[in-house]
Amino acid sequence: MNCLRADGVRLASELRERALAAGRLPCDVVVCPPATLLHEISVVLRESDIALGAQDCGEGDFGAQTGNISAAMLKDAGCEYIIAGHSERRHGQGETDARVRRKVQSVHDAGLVAIVCVGETEAERDQNLTFDVLARQVDASLPMDAGGGNTVVAYEPVWAIGSGRTPSADEIAAAHRQIRAVAARRGGAGGDIRILYGGSVKGDNAAAILAIPEVEGALVGGASLKAGEFWKIVESCP
């Protein structure tokens, strides 16, 4: 719930100019603005290498779901990616693993890439349940067709989001290895899924986080609201 039209377009335009000036980007870059801005920002980003994503979607292709927006509708608005199961949806809106899984399946059915978020709360971490929570969420949130071509998993420890706190490099690496192991043992192309880290990623810590061998990208929150700060993260990609 950030950015009205003028601010959103201004931010997207600045990112587009930075992308064009950079030429070839060092990594894949995706922006996920509020649904009200998607179509207009899709126009702004044309001819740049920045892809467009949505923050959430409804379940199914169409029907009587007042207030929901289907993955097919988001694709029609220019999206290539959709986030599912963000911690603010799981813990703030009560979304279960089963519901996240249905949303991810809808994203796949629309031919888009799902960015599936998983992560433990502070209470779960204090009880040494991090690995158990990650195993359960990955296994229950991913459909059997999930693989590197249609799914990205983002590890975002709930206690780190917006807090300015981040796990140590060893803790991040261990969590990513657990996610990789669970995804791989599900069979199919699960072992090829890209795993991102999210949780207070900023311009001044991005390089260190992205240098961790198990980390294959970042899910950026508040730092994405300032073009210069966000672009520092882009430029930190190895």
Q: Report yes or no: 194 and 215 within 8 Å, Cβ to Cβ.
A: no
Catalytic residues: 86, 156
- Residue 151 tokens read as 């799914």
According to DSSP, the residues that pair with 190 across neighbouring strands are none
Q: Report yes or no: 234 and 27 within 8 Å, Cβ to Cβ.
A: yes
Residue 40: strand, helix, or coil = helix
**Residue holding tokens 């140590």?**
168
- Residue 190 tokens read as 């699960």
- Residue 222 tokens read as 């508040």
Q: Report yes or no: 48 and 20 within 8 Å, Cβ to Cβ.
A: yes
Cβ neighbour number for residue 169 with a 10 Å cutoff: 15
The two most distant CA atoms of the chain are separated, in Å, by 48
Q: Report yes or no: 166 and 199 within 8 Å, Cβ to Cβ.
A: yes
